[in-house]
Structure 1
């Protein structure tokens, strides 16, 4: 008859809980799976399933008293790592949302907004188009599988019980400036073309002040903007691949997998 002591049972349960905290945090904050489109119960079941698969194959966690302060510190670390990974992936989507917002303001559609079911907020229509395209590309290129792979690898490169450094979070803060620059690069062709159109209307108004340029400028700017968007959509996949590569490289660097 096999007899299990309380220490063995506690160690076994805690080894699964450490993995669950990090895995659950990633699934609750990452794009697509972590949005409101996926019910909370489905995300929880997915986190439990992934935990049950990978927990027996990762390095053993250090033995800690479940009622000690170190346990809560380790729980906070695992949640923080998972949230940081999901947040880095959210920045990938917010780059295109911000680019869509800038383009919408340039073409006069900044007031046209609709509810984003994934985030539960109102965004510009152009930004919503970019969001749907990025979501489809993320799933078509197996981005969710790559995220799970990096997350599983993080338990080896950033094992449970290892303390995070301040430089890791400093690198995360630097991503904010990278988001703005990347959004400008994504929408730069459309922004430049719409700027030329607005400059042309400004020259026309100076040359012929008697013309009511505002009555014809808005519909023409809108038409040119839609045409530019149609042309721009052909290069979205290439731009998405470049931005995604940079995001995944940083994500692997954050979990020290490079």
Structure 2
């Protein structure tokens, strides 16, 4: 006779893992087939399930099981969304640079999220994903998922205003990181704007709109090229921020 309780626990573990992966930064790429996403989530749940301790009683009626399904799905979505917000700070930094460099006028369709994105924002986002994988960020996500079953037991999550406050803090931290990453390029572009302004005052015959665009693009890209080698250090700091933010968020879900 199959153990129905074990099957119920495995299903709840799978739902949290699937929701976490679907809303995470890697599986949010729309080019990955949905069947592959479900298959990897199932394999991940199979590996994680033996390490999950069933400290809380599982629901036995259909109403309680439905609430547990919603709860586990919500926990996975919240954790995955938190990770995505932190990692998207690099994309946000690219959008800040594009706004000042002039690339914001030409938007592209980003195939990774199915929305429009600026040129440097898409480039920095894809590059940050490469650095994320090189620094074993995917292992960090798997470890965080395993720890989530210890900090937030199955069907024991409680959603309160504290979790919303932590998400707001995560978003504000991502916005601050984006400003810090883009600040050197923005400062150089500001100096270039001031230089073009003085040039216009001294030589009114120069069309600043025609000469300013290529100058700002060249200066901005040159400055960005010096910052690219430092992106690995930024991603490492982001990984530490992900671990800290996920711990704070899971503590509020108990």
TM-score (norm 2): 0.92
How far the C-alpha of 1:165 sits from its partner, in A, is 4.6
Equivalence for 1:208: 203
1:192-235, CA deviations, whole angstroms, 9 ceiling, x for partnerless residues? 11011001101111222232222211111111111111112122
- Of residues 179, 190, 196, the one that matches 1:195 is 190
Q: Distance in 1 between matches of 2:73 and 2:200?
A: 58
Equivalence for 1:161: 155
1:250 to 2:240 alignment: no
Answer yes or no: is the 8 Å Cα contact 1:34–1:43 preserved in 2: no
Tell me which moved more, 185-194 or 206-215: 206-215
- Of residues 130, 135, 146, the one that matches 2:129 is 135
Answer yes or no: is the 8 Å Cα contact 2:152–2:250 preserved in 1: yes
1:231 to 2:221 alignment: no
1:88 to 2:67 alignment: no
How far the C-alpha of 1:256 sits from its partner, in A, is 3.5
- Of residues 120, 124, 135, the one that matches 1:126 is 120
> RMSD over aligned Cα, in angstroms?
1.7
Q: Distance in 2 between matches of 1:56 and 1:164?
A: 24
- Of residues 9, 14, 29, the one that matches 2:8 is 14
Q: How many correspondences in the alignment?
A: 250
Q: Distance in 2 between matches of 1:164 and 1:34?
A: 26
Q: Is the alpha carbon distance of 1:163 and 1:85 closer, same or farther for their aligned partners in structure 2, counting shifts above 3 Å?
A: closer
How far the C-alpha of 1:104 sits from its partner, in A, is 0.9
What SS does structure 2 have at the residue aligned with 1:63?
coil
How far the C-alpha of 1:143 sits from its partner, in A, is 0.8
TM-score (norm 1): 0.91
1:154-185, CA deviations, whole angstroms, 9 ceiling, x for partnerless residues? 11121113232521232112222222221111
1:181 to 2:176 alignment: yes
1:39 to 2:26 alignment: no
Answer yes or no: is the 8 Å Cα contact 2:107–2:119 preserved in 1: yes
What SS does structure 2 have at the residue aligned with 1:65?
coil
What SS does structure 2 have at the residue aligned with 1:114?
strand
Q: Where does the alignment leave 5 or more consecutive residues of structure 1 unmatched? A: none
Answer yes or no: is the 8 Å Cα contact 2:58–2:155 preserved in 1: no
1:138-161, CA deviations, whole angstroms, 9 ceiling, x for partnerless residues? 111111111011101111121113
Answer yes or no: is the 8 Å Cα contact 2:166–2:248 preserved in 1: no
What SS does structure 2 have at the residue aligned with 1:159?
coil
What SS does structure 2 have at the residue aligned with 1:123?
strand
